[in-house]
Amino acid sequence: MLKVKVFILGLFLVTFASAQTEITYWDWWVTQGPAIDAIIAAFQEQNPDITVTKTTTATTNYVQGLNAAVQSGSAPDMYAIPWEVWTEYVSQGYLYDLNQFPDVEEFKATFPDPANNFVEGSNIINGQLYSAPFSGPSKPWLQLYVHTGLYQEAGLVDDAGNVQLPTTWAEFIENSRTIKEKTGKAGLGFSMQQSWATGWLYRICNYSGVPYDGYLGGFDYRTGEYTFASNPCYKQVLSDLVTMRDEGLIDEGTLSLSYDDEGARALFAEGGFAHLFAGEWVIPGFSQTHPDFSEYTATHVPFPGDAPESYFGAGVGGYQFVINAETENPEAAWEFFKFLHSEEAGRIWSENGQGLMLLTPQPYDQFATNDAFKYIFSSTNLVRTYPEPTIRKPELAQLQITLQGASPDDMIVGILSGQITDIDAALADLDARKMAALETAISDAQAAGLDVSMEDFLYPDWNPAENYQN
C-alpha cells in the first residue's frame, strides 16, 4: 500500500511540475528587444509555470499584422498597442477589462500618482480599465544627438576642450555650417523614409511657445484653432530646413530615401553627419551595432529664440500594453502585465539602456552610463502636462478624426524633397483640412447621439509653461 501511495504522489508531482501555461506577446520594439527579453527572463524565473513567447514585427508592418490577428480571432494574449488603433480596439471590444482582476486596486497603488496615472478618457473608458502608463510624463521623448567627434574636429569647443552644444535653433544651424566647412560632413541627417520631421517640428516650435496638445496635433486649445499657418515658428523651421538642404548641410543620402531609421542612426554613428533628432531608444541601438561608438551626447531639442517659453508636452494616464479580450489565459497574462509595470522591470529597462520607465527606481543616476543618458535623466524638469479633452469629456475618445489628403508627415517630406515649394500654402491647407476633419468627426458623433461639441476642446486659461491639472 505504501508503494502505491508513493507512486501516486510521485505521479502527481511530475504532472504538476510539467503543467506549463504559455502566453503569446507581440510588440514592434526592435531596438528595445534585448531589454524586453531580459524582462521576460526575469519574469519567467519568478514564474516558472508561465512561458512568454515573444514576437517582434517591424513598425511598418505591425499594425497591419495586428489588425488581421484581432479580426480573425488569432490575436496574442498580450501586446503593445499603437496609438492609432486604440480607440477602434476599445470600441470593438478587443481589449480585456483589467478591473476584472481582484488585485487591480493593489496594482494601481504601486504607481507614483494613481489619480493621474489611471484616468477616464485615457486608459479608462466608460469605467473599464484597459491599460496602464509605461514610460509616463517623466521626460522629453525627443532629444538632439550631437556627434562630439565631429564637433571637436570642427573646433566647436571651449578653451578647455569641451564641446559647445547648441542651445538655440540658430546655433544649431550655424554649428551645422561650421561642421560642413571644417570637416566636409553634413550637419544633419534623418530618415525621410520614416519621416520624423513632424516630431521635430512640434517639439522645436513647442520650445518657442507653441502649445503642444498631444491629441489633435497643431491645435491650440486656448483659441480652438489649428496654428500651422498662423504661428510663424512652423514656417521658420521649415524654411530653415530647406535652406540647410540647399546649402548641403543635410546629408544627401538620407534625403534621397536611401536610409530607414536604423540606417540613418548607423550613418550618424559612423560620423556621416553631426546631428540626429531621436529618442533615448537609439542609445542601446548604438551599443548593439557600433559597440565602440562613444563620441556622442544628447541635449534638448533646440528652439528658436533666446530661451524656451514652453516645454515638452506630456499627458496624464497613458497606455502601452493590453490583454486580449479573448485570451484563454487571462490570469497568466495579468501576471506578466503586472511585472512589465513593476520597479524590477523599470530597473531592467534602464540598465539595458532604454532610459526611464514610470516605475524606474530612483536615484536615476545609477543608470547614467554615458553622457547621453546623464542628460536624459536630468531633463525631467522640461516636461509639462497639457489639457486632455478626453479626460474632461470621455465621449471625445469615440471621435473618429480622419484627415483627408496628405498628412503633416507627408507635407513636411514633400517640402524637404522639393515636391512642395509654397510653404505658406501647404501650412494653410493643412490647417483647413485638419479643422474640417475635426468638425466632421464632431458632427458624426453628434448624429450618433454623443454629447460633444467644439467647446469641449477649449481651454482659454491654459498656460503651456505650467502643468495643467486635468
pLDDT at 3 over 50: no
Cβ atoms of 310 and 206 within 8 Å: the answer is yes
pLDDT bin (cut points 50, 70, 90) of residue 195 is: low
pLDDT at 260 over 80: no
In sequence order, the β-bridge partners of residue 25 are 54, 78
Neighbours of 403 (CB within 10 A): 15
Bigger pLDDT: 206 or 361?
A: 361
pLDDT at 311 over 80: no
Q: Which of 170, 414, 394 is nearest to 302 (CA)?
A: 170
Predicted confidence at residue 66, as pLDDT, reads 96
Domains and CATH numbers, the chain: 23-137+316-341 (3.40.190.10), 143-312 (3.40.190.10), 392-457 (no CATH)
Joined together, the cell numbers standing for residue 426 give 501647404
pLDDT bin (cut points 50, 70, 90) of residue 79 is: very high
**For the segment 262-304, what is each residue's pLDDT rounded down to a tens digit?**
888 899 999 999 999 988 888 888 888 898 999 999 998 888 8
In sequence order, the β-bridge partners of residue 298 are 145
pLDDT at 315 over 80: no
Predicted confidence at residue 13, as pLDDT, reads 43
Predicted confidence at residue 194, as pLDDT, reads 62
Q: What is the pTM of this model?
A: 0.82
Predicted confidence at residue 302, as pLDDT, reads 86
Alpha-carbon span 418 to 421, nearest angstrom: 6
Over residues 408-428, the mean pLDDT reads 90
Predicted confidence at residue 229, as pLDDT, reads 92
Cβ atoms of 183 and 313 within 8 Å: the answer is no
Bigger pLDDT: 243 or 378?
A: 243
Sorted by sequence, the CB contacts under 8 Å of residue 4 that are 6+ apart come out as: none
Q: For residue 232, is the peptide bond before it cis, meaning its omega torsion is within 30 degrees of 0?
A: no
pLDDT bin (cut points 50, 70, 90) of residue 307 is: low
Over residues 297-322, the mean pLDDT reads 80
**For the segment 454-467, what is each residue's pLDDT rounded down to a tens digit?**
999 999 998 888 88
pLDDT bin (cut points 50, 70, 90) of residue 213 is: low
State the chain's mean pLDDT as an integer: 87
pLDDT at 148 over 80: yes
Cβ atoms of 262 and 328 within 8 Å: the answer is no
Alpha-carbon span 401 to 443, nearest angstrom: 11
pLDDT at 218 over 70: yes
111-120, 270-279, 292-301, 321-330 — most confident range = 321-330
pLDDT bin (cut points 50, 70, 90) of residue 61 is: confident
Q: Which of 79, 203, 133 is nearest to 464 (CA)?
A: 203
pLDDT at 202 over 80: no
Over residues 107-122, the mean pLDDT reads 89
